[in-house]
Chains A and B, each alone.
Chain A
């Protein structure tokens, strides 16, 4: 028998930040290969904002071709002959742009921003933990994203170019290089996404474990801030959906590499099986991309309205309902695919029903603002825009859910409008809301509010000018993913609309320079952030900005839910979760704080 004492890896082994031992890790451990969830969150932020920029540039190249078909793109001369000889985009390069815009935005921008960045920033601090349950796994989930991203970017520069089969990669186009003219690029696309999937799984396991096991005393399930609920349910979706995608991608890779024929009909395969597998992952993925955004919006709207969130249990119930109904609606992507039409009928019903929890959320956000005292700080502006735009995206979804209407609008610009109202109008506005809201906590400086308002106003206006007219294009029958609409007589009269959208898209892109400048300037020169700049209630605001490595000096104690704003009979219009109810002064969790009252590192209490 070994005499070594084994320490059970339970929560009480968390090391609380000790002010007498400042963080002395070398630079590389502190900022590069860091296991600190806050640093990893910041790393995800920079990485995904970079890919957001890349995805946006790809979109603007597409818009050039649609706005000015066949004309040389300004600056397009720098692209190689295989992409744009003389600056004129080639059709095969256009298909790559379509594919890679979707791929980068979904897998490398929105998903890591919402899940990677906000998951890391928010979960440990919101639940009152010193870090993630598995800090090294957490670090690895970030660092595995880097090769995935590099491989994806590299696919542009191999012979045959990047994948051109759409982000949905429908087989057999994606499975047979001779059909697409893309050789290595398609294989790299599969490999990159499989690697990325591993990173997502590591994150999901970590988040679930942290939320279940590491909540501070008093932090019952129904005292969790809504972003944590959203990220918890999202992590379950990630955990169940990503392996399906990985399986499908490996099958697709085998079809290309070693002569299997999972998706090739002439040798016994099934093209539709790819679609079933892809959308079985793909529809939960849609909710992975919106649920955390809903959580962030709830947090910011309650804070901005100075009012408790309307119907907290219903908000949680709606998140759960959306997530689990999300598993039985994948067929609505396949109404025109040749799937049995009777199956179409049942998928229509389940898809329609998912509108109900979405509606509950919208009405509850309105209910939160009702009789509130609305502060128009930059996060609130973005969160309100999220609600306004999500309403449009949600309602336009009803058109496509109706199978007969979908016959006409499927694969037209109507769906392009719809998905951008959900993913840009929805997710991205919520991401901006969250960035402006939590940036001070992690960088110790405020983002400039004036620049923030300018950025918001420009983005909101140009965003709508870009995407709203796409509904009109779709109604006229404008097909999506088409290199030159003027090939069709019925689309030619729409050219001015396309040009209008393109100009708006360039202005929308230019407006993001304000954000980039604000980010860079505020990082170095921004106003120093106080501990609680928004007078908010959740635990992270009890700590200095930025919080030290290890977060809390003592086990925080949670006394109430996170949305106790404007409580009757209290002078302050907020009542933090960490403040004892009997008027005793709040314990100071900060590193230089002197502990008062019952602030001994608390003995573990059973949750709830």
Chain B
């Protein structure tokens, strides 16, 4: 049986930073957890009812209360302060510290129950003639940022790349920028993390991180008018687990 105590290896630029905050909190809360639970069990044993012993008559202790008010206060503000920097880097894609200017623009539109990725083509810009779209596959080069415009055609979905530590809801009526940079090649899972209907569980896709040159080749092979249409074979989506009675519109 697999018991995960540590996070899976991150493959993105911000992954390690996010994980380090996780471990920081794990250490702080872990120490508090052990201290409190040990004290609790110790008190239960030490102060169990015994003949001839009476509980101490006391209504509290101001000093102790001030101490255990101030310490958690300082700790949580410290955690919040440490967290904020990474949060803004991750989420403010179009601000200082966000997506670099050379990030590859892409558009991801979610709909029940698939992801459609529009690539910029050789000119590197979206909404031009050489754009092409692929369903359920996100291809990107290693060590180069991608800036995704994320939207949805129907309900709320959530763009979740576990190994990248990336998650962002895709909301109909909004285009939300998401950016990330892979630092390792390979193929990774891409999931929908927001309940979006009966096929939510199989709204699966994949992210392929290529070597730098390899990505251009892949892009060139796709950037032809014939490839612009989505071929059914492109789908990496999952098959239903059981036969589904009706497909939603």
Contacts and interface: CB of A to CB of B under 8 A. Distances in A.
Contacts of B169: 336-338
A32 interface: no
A522 interface: no
A38 to B, nearest CB: 31
A493 B6 CA distance: 15
Interface size class of A (residues with CB under 8 A): 35 or more
A374 B44 contact: yes
Given A91-B240, A402-B21, A475-B5, A371 B47 contact: yes
Q: Chain A's interface: helix, strand, loop or mixed, by majority? A: helix
B201 A483 contact: yes
Contacts of B248: 178-181
B217 interface: no
A79 interface: no
B80 A271 contact: no
A375 B172 CA distance: 57
Interface size class of B (residues with CB under 8 A): 35 or more
A405 B57 contact: no
Contacts, number: 324
A566 B55 contact: yes
B37 A338 contact: no
Given A90-B242, A348-B87, A402-B83, A482 B200 contact: yes
Contacts of B246: 181
B76 A355 contact: yes
B194 interface: yes
B39 to A, nearest CB: 6
Contacts of A178: 248-249
Given A165-B195, A311-B65, A369 B40 contact: yes
A477 B162 contact: yes
A391 interface: yes
A315 to B, nearest CB: 9
Nearest to A392: B33
Interface in B15-62: 17-18, 21-22, 25-26, 28-29, 32-33, 36-37, 39-40, 43-44, 47-50, 53-61
Interface string B113-146: 0000000000000000000000000000000000
Nearest to A411: B193
A576 B178 CA distance: 62
A502 to B, nearest CB: 13
A153 interface: no
Contacts of B191: 477, 479, 488
B179 to A, nearest CB: 12
Contacts of A485: 201
Contacts of A348: 80, 83-84, 87
A408 B167 contact: yes
Contacts of A473: 4
Nearest to B53: A373
Given A173-B195, A407-B167, A391 B33 contact: yes
A408 B244 contact: no
A489 B191 CA distance: 11
Interface stretch (B102-110, B151-159, B220-228): B151-159
